[in-house]
Amino acid sequence: MSFTMARTTMSLSQTVVTAERSRPERASNAPASIATVAGAPPAPMGRIVAVRPINSGERVAADNGKAGTIRRMNREQYDRIEDNPFLGVKNNPLSTFSIDVDRASYTNVRRFLQGSTRPPKDAVRIEEFINYFPYQLPEPRGNDPVSISSEVIAAPWQPQHKLVRVALQAKRIETANLPPNNLVFLLDVSGSMNEWNKLPLVKQALRLLVDQLRPQDRVAIVTYAGAAGLVLPSTSGDEKVRILSALDRLEAGGSTAGGAGIDLAYRTAREHFLPNGNNRVILATDGDFNVGPSSDSELERMVEQRRREGTYLTVLGFGTGNYQASKMEKLAKVGNGNAAYVDNISEARKVLVEEMGATLLTVANDVKLQVEFNPAAVQAYRLIGYENRLLATEDFNDDTKDAGDIGAGHQVTALYEVVPVGVRGTVNIRGIDSLRYVTPDRSMGAPASGGADELLFVKLRYKRPGQSTSQLMSHAVPSRTVRASQDMRFVSAVASFGMLLRDSEYKGNSSAAQVLEQARAALGEDIGGYRAEFVQLVERWRALGVTAGERR
C-alpha cells in the first residue's frame, strides 16, 4: 500500500493530528478562546505521519512495524462557549442581545452525528439549532418588517421554572418580487477543496441558485487559490448556459489566498452596483485561509468597509477537516450577511432555493432585542444561547452599534428560562450572595411599575436598509403559562438536546428519552422532513452511548 508521507520538522506545539472519529478535547496548545478538535496525541519528533485524505479507521503498518490506524489531520476550530448563567433580576433587570439568523451549527453537528461521531461541545450553538427549523408565526402587520410573538410554558427539564419563547417573523417576499440581484460567487478552489463534499458540492449547490436567476439578475464568478482570478465577468441571469459552463470548468488546486479573492469579488460587485438592488458576495469555502491577509481582523476590516458601501456577504461553509466555524461566522456578521454550513445537496436546496429570499435579501439591519423582567414575577432568568451576541445595556439605544440583520422570511427564536418569585433552591443566582435574613426572591419582589400581570417586556430596535436611525417595537409577555403549542414543544425538545450535547450544567432532568418523546409528539406537518430528521439525529446520539450525566 502506498501513501503520501511527511516527516514532522516543526515543534509539537505547531501541529495537531487527530482521528476524525475520536472524542474531541481541548488541545494543550490552543489559545484560551479557541477549542481545537483533537482526539489523538501528536506523533513524537521524527515520527512519520500520513497527511493524505484517507478513510477513517484504515489500517496500515505504523512506524514501529506493527499495524496501526492512520489519523487524519483535522484543523477544525470552534470558539469556546460558556453557557449563560442565571442572573438575578434585582441587579440585572435587563437582558440585551443582537439577533442571530445563522444555522450553521446545526448542520455541522448533523454531519458529526451522521458520521457516528460525537461533536465537540463548542460546536453546539443552541440558538442556531432552534432557528434551523421553520415554525408557524404571525406575519408582520402594515409596514413593519418583522413581527414579535411569545409563549410561556413550564420548563420541561425543570417544571418549577418557566420557559419563555420570544419569536420574530420577518416579512416574506416572493422570489418573483425580489429586487434585482448583483451577485458575485467567490469560490475557494484551493487544494484543500479537492474532496467530494467541497468543490464538487459547491458546484452542485450553485447550479441550484443559478436555476433561480431572472433576466434582471447578474452573476460573476471569482476564484482564489494562491492568486485570485475572474472566471466569469458579470453576466445576465438569462445566460444560464454560460454561467453553468464556467462553474463546470472549475477544478481545485493550490494554496489559499482568501483575502485577495475577497478584494477582487468586492471590486467586481462595485463595478456593477445596483442602487436599488441586492448587491452581495457569496463566499463558498472550507475556511482554510492560510496565505495572504489571513488574520480575522484584516479580513473583517475589508468586509466591514465593503458593507458600508452597500455590498453584503453570505458565507457558505463546506467539507470537513479545515472548517473554521468562528471565522465564517465573524465574516458574515461584519458583512451584514448570514453563515450556513452545507453538508449535502438537500441543505444546499434549503439555503439557496427554499430560503432564497432570506439568504439574499435583508429587510432589517442592526436588529437588537432588550428584555425587561418584572421583579414582582421573576427572581432570576437565563438566556439560552446567543452567548457571543450579548450587548451592553446602553448598546440597545446606540444606533452606531452593529447588530445582526434579518432577511426576507427569516425567523428568529430566543428562549429564556425563568425562575418565578417564590421558587427556592433550584439555581445559584450570579451576583447575589446568600442572605441571612431575607430570601433573594422576596428582596426582588417589589411591585412593578408596569403591568402587574406581565412577566417581561420585549423591546426591539431595527433599521430599514439604507437608513441610519433605528425604529422601536415592543411586546408585553403575560405571566400566565399556557398549554404548549406544537411548535413550543418541539422548540423545547431542540433546546434540551442542545444542552445534552453541551453537557450543560443547566440541563436539569433532560434525557435523550425525554427529547425523543417531546419531538415525536410535535412533528406536525413537517414540510421538508426536518423534524423527523432531528429525531433520527437524537437516536444516533443515543446509540453512541452518551448519557445525560457524562462529562467531557
173, 181 contact by CB (below 8 A): no
* Element (DSSP H or E) covering residue 520: helix 512-520
Question: Same domain for 164 and 244?
Answer: no
Question: Does residue 106 form part of some domain?
Answer: no
Nearest to 347, CA basis, from 20, 110, 182: 110
Q: Helices (DSSP H) in 214-295: which residue ranges?
A: 240-248, 258-271
Number of domains composing the chain: 3
Amino acid at 323: Y
Q: By the 8 A CB rule, do 316 and 286 touch?
A: no
pLDDT at 481: 85
Whether residues 165 and 183 fall in one domain: no
Q: Quick one: DSSP state of residue 121?
A: G
User: Does pTM surpass 0.75?
Assistant: yes
Nearest to 221 by CA among 256, 248, 184: 184
Residue 316 C-beta-side C-alpha neighbours within 13 Å = 31
**Full residue range of the structural domain in which residue 427 is found:** 87-101+117-171+364-543
Can you tell me the distance from the alpha carbon of 36 to that of 62, in angstroms, rounded to the nearest whole number?
25
Dihedral (CA of 62, 67, 73, 79) sign? negative
430 and 494 housed in the same domain: yes
Query: Would residue 66 count as lying in a domain?
Result: yes
67 and 138 both lie in a single domain: no
Contact 281, 313 (CB under 8 A): yes
107 assigned to some structural domain: no
Say if 311 falls within a structural domain: yes
Final residue in a domain of this structure, among 360, 376, 393: 360
Single out the residue in 311, 344, 360 at which a domain terminates. Answer: 360
Counting beta carbons within 10 angstroms of the beta carbon of residue 475, is it exposed (0 to 12), middle (13 to 18) or buried (19 or more)?
Answer: middle
The stretches in the chain having pLDDT less than 50 are 1-72, 291-292, 436-438, 442-445, 447-448, 548, 550-552
Q: Running DSSP on this structure, what letter comes out for residue 28?
A: T
SS3 4: coil
Same domain, 162 and 213: no
In this structure, is the dihedral angle defined by the CA atoms of residues 361, 78, 318 and 327, taken in order, positive or negative? positive
Residues 6+ apart with CB under 8 A from 56: 19, 20, 21, 72
Of 342, 360, 378, the position where a domain reaches its end is 360
Beta strands in 277-389 (DSSP E): 278-285, 312-318, 339-342, 362-373, 378-384
Angle, CA of 405, 410 and 416, to the nearest 5°? 80
Residues 164 and 303 in one domain: no
Give which of 323, 311, 336, 255 is closest to 284, Cα–Cα: 323
- CA 334 – CA 122 distance, rounded (Å): 21
Q: In angstroms, rounded to a whole number, what is the distance separating the alpha carbons of residues 475 and 451?
A: 12
CA distance 37 to 80: 11
Which CATH number covers residue 212?
3.40.50.410
- Residue 120's Cα: distance from chain center in Å? 15
The dihedral over CA atoms of 282, 286, 288, 289, expressed in degrees to the nearest 10, equals 0
Interatomic CA distance for residues 130 and 356, integer angstroms: 20
Is the same domain home to 392 and 350?
Answer: no
Give the length of the chain.
Answer: 552
Same domain, 382 and 519: yes
Name the DSSP letter for residue 84: P
Answer whether residue 411 is part of any domain. Answer: yes
Q: Are residues 181 and 139 in the same domain?
A: no
Q: Is residue 78 part of a domain?
A: no
Dihedrals phi, psi of 457, to nearest 5 degrees = -130, 125
User: Do 233 and 153 fall within a single domain?
Assistant: no
Residue 440 shares a structural domain with residue 470 = yes
In whole angstroms, what is the distance from residue 350 CA to residue 353 CA? 6
Grid cell locating 170? 420577518
Residue 187 forms part of a structural domain: yes
pLDDT of the residue at 466: 87
* H-run or E-run covering 165: strand 158-170
Q: Name the H helices within 52-114.
A: 104-114
Residue 111 lies in a domain: no
Q: How far apart are CA 190 and CA 194, in angstroms?
A: 7
What span, in angstroms and rounded, lies between the C-alpha atoms of 83 and 85?
Answer: 6
In the chain, the amino acid numbered 151 is E
User: What pLDDT score was predicted for residue 322?
Assistant: 76
DSSP-assigned beta bridge partners for residue 365 = 463
Judge if 121 and 149 occupy the same domain.
yes
